[in-house]
Amino acid sequence: KSSLKLKGKTVLITAGPTREKIDPVRFITNHSTGKMGYALAEAAKKAGAKVILVSGPVQLSPPPGVDIVKIESADEMYHAVMNNFVGADIIIKTAAVADYTPKVSYEHKMKKQPGDKVIELERTKDILSELGTKKRNKILIGFAAETENVEEYAVKKLKAKNADMIVANNVKAEGAGFGRDTNIVTLFKRDGTKIELPLMSKLEVAHKIIEEIIVLPKDLESN
């Protein structure tokens, strides 16, 4: 039965935003709600996989039967992913991970002072990129949230991160991206295949992504 094609496989999925602490009451984050990642967890579970969902702070309940690992910062997500990487056959990086984090996270609430305030940021680790260099016999799927030149940036990410597929969404398009129940995505595979999907619910998009993962030719895996 096609619905159980991932039986015996472990799928590691990341979802939601990260929170980068400035002080105990303030943080930097983004608009991700986790809907896309949680839909993927549900679709992978339905396909028979063991699912580990590494999630940033969101308002959703994990789908039944999915193992949840809750994290807040990009650094915590990095460690949670690396801890679960070895046993995973398929990794799907849906999370909107912060690219920058405050250099200093203050122990006490920052006090208002006259004039402007500068917060210095440093780069976080690029989790997808590191997985791309580490993986052997694993399928790695990345997302690309773009607002322009979607195809060009997605194809660049596919190669630069050594991923097997990139799911690109134009987060400015009506009905696509952060927060909504729908998405419009294009899948880019290593063999140059491009699959443009119409507006669909995030759960339908998730099922389609899982179907496309199942038919990824083994010999195209970038090991």
Binding residues (CB under 6 A) for ligand PMT: these are 32-37, 74, 93-97, 99, 124-128, 142-145, 157, 169, 171, 177-179
Nearer to ligand PMT, 10 or 94 (CB): 94
**Min CB(46)–ligand PMT separation in Å:** 18
- Dist CA 99 CA 30 (whole Å): 11
Whole-Å CA distances, 18 to 38, 100, 124: 15, 11, 11
Residue 30 appears among annotated catalytic residues:
yes
**Min CB(15)–ligand PMT separation in Å:** 6
**Min CB(198)–ligand PMT separation in Å:** 16
Closest by CA position to 82, among listed 142, 35, 12: 12
Nearer to ligand PMT, 48 or 199 (CB): 199
- Dist CA 13 CA 83 (whole Å): 13
Nearer to ligand PMT, 50 or 56 (CB): 56
Tell me how many helices (H) and strands (E) the chain has: 5, 14
Nearer to ligand PMT, 48 or 200 (CB): 200
| Residue 169 near residue 177, CB atoms below 8 Å | yes
What SS3 class is residue 44?
Answer: helix
**Min CB(216)–ligand PMT separation in Å:** 17
Local structure of residue 110 (DSSP, 8 states): P
- Dist CA 88 CA 9 (whole Å): 8
Active site residues: 30
